[in-house]
A = this chain, B = another copy of it.
Amino acid sequence: MAALIATAINCSLSAKGRSSSTDAMIAVLAEHFAEHDVKVGKPIRIAARNVKWGVSSNEGPDDDWPAIREAILAADILIFGTPIWMGQISSVAKLVLERMDAFLSETDEAGRMPSSSKVAVAAIVGNEDGAHWASSQLFQSLNDTGWTIPAVAACYWVGEAMGDVDFRDLPHRPRKVTETAKMVTANAAHLARLLKASPYPG
């Protein structure tokens, strides 16, 4: 069983400061990915980088996207981490999806996007409500831009309606989150290995 690599992105609105709940959820997935010999790199905090608005792969000299794009495409698996704001993915997450829109015109001779034969999973956290809408936004956009979505690909936590508890501050990890993380990582690792060995022919 060959080792796989996963790149994790954290689409928090904060560039720095104390640890984010999105990082905490990515860490849960990383812990279980390790059981499947998938190495997860340090999450890329998008808001800490200078990612320009746009839908091309390079928006000029100061644009940090090309380096992030390279890290994403160097991996077999993408862990797309986003907080929920107003019941939806963050603006930072949408920015990343828009930059991936360029994949549609970067196909190889067989019509395959750079993301082809790679799998994506979601790590979603919020104080309350929004995980299903967030995963729907991610799955549709990631699928449009060439990513494959393994069965049960979203690991999420939200609190009770209109609550304000953060995932990182929970006294202990909810059993349901652990169960889901196990399924998400087992499925993603399995599918990524299949597609790495036998890529889409295009």
Contact = CB atoms under 8 A, between A and B. Distances in A.
Size class of the contact patch on chain A: 35 or more
Contact of A176 (B116, B152, B162, B174): B162
A140 B152 CA distance: 9
Contacts of A148: 148-151, 191
Interface in A140-172: 140-141, 143-154, 156-163
A20 interface: no
Contacts of A147: 151
A15 B53 CA distance: 9
Given A91-B92, A186-B202, A201-B190, A85 B111 contact: no
Nearest to A95: B91
A2 interface: no
Interface string A65-108: 00000000000000000000111111110110110010000000
A89 B137 CA distance: 11
Nearest to A153: B143
Contact of A151 (B95, B101, B143): B143
A58 interface: no
Q: Which of A98, A139, A186 has the most CB of B within 10 A?
A: A139
A111 to B, nearest CB: 7
Interface of A: 13-15, 47, 53-55, 85-92, 94-95, 97-98, 101, 111, 113, 115-117, 128-133, 135-137, 139-141, 143-154, 156-163, 174, 176-177, 180, 183, 186-187, 190-191, 194-195, 198, 200-202
Given A115-B151, A133-B133, 15 more contacts: A13-B54, A53-B91, A85-B94, A86-B145, A91-B94, A117-B151, A129-B156, A131-B161, A139-B149, A148-B150, A149-B149, A159-B161, A161-B177, A186-B201, A194-B194
